[in-house]
Amino acid sequence: MSDFGWNHFTHRHNIRKCGIINAAIRGNVDHDDHHGRLEYEGVAFETGPRPRQVDYVVIVQYTRRTKDGNYDAGRGQKIGVINAFCRNQRHNKCPDWMNR
């Protein structure tokens, strides 16, 4: 199932470290559509001689089924993280330095 989740954002958006996801969802929800879609925003920093920063978002589907009805996590289950990507980056792809 590569439409969303780990396989989707690992390959398409270049996020390969769980710590990136965990850092964002550790905080408060930044956007809630009140239908189970939650968005958490994060900021990643690279230190060194040329410090850089990038904003990213983690999207969580906190419901049993996706809005389009194509996916069902099963009775009593929630889908969870469905996507994560960097904002203001080409193709929403995160820089490699985030995975170090």
Sign of CA pseudo-dihedral 23, 91, 31, 2: negative
pLDDT in tens, 30-62: 999 999 999 999 999 999 899 999 999 999 999
> For residue 72, what are the β-bridge partners?
65
Give the pTM: 0.88
What are the tens digits of pLDDT across the range 80-96? 998 999 998 999 999 99
In this prediction, residue 64 has a pLDDT band, given cuts at 50, 70 and 90, of: very high
**Residue spans per domain, the chain:** 6-91
- pLDDT given for residue 2 in this prediction: 59
In this predicted model, what pLDDT tens digit does every residue of 7-34 receive, in sequence order?
A: 888 888 999 999 999 999 999 999 999 9
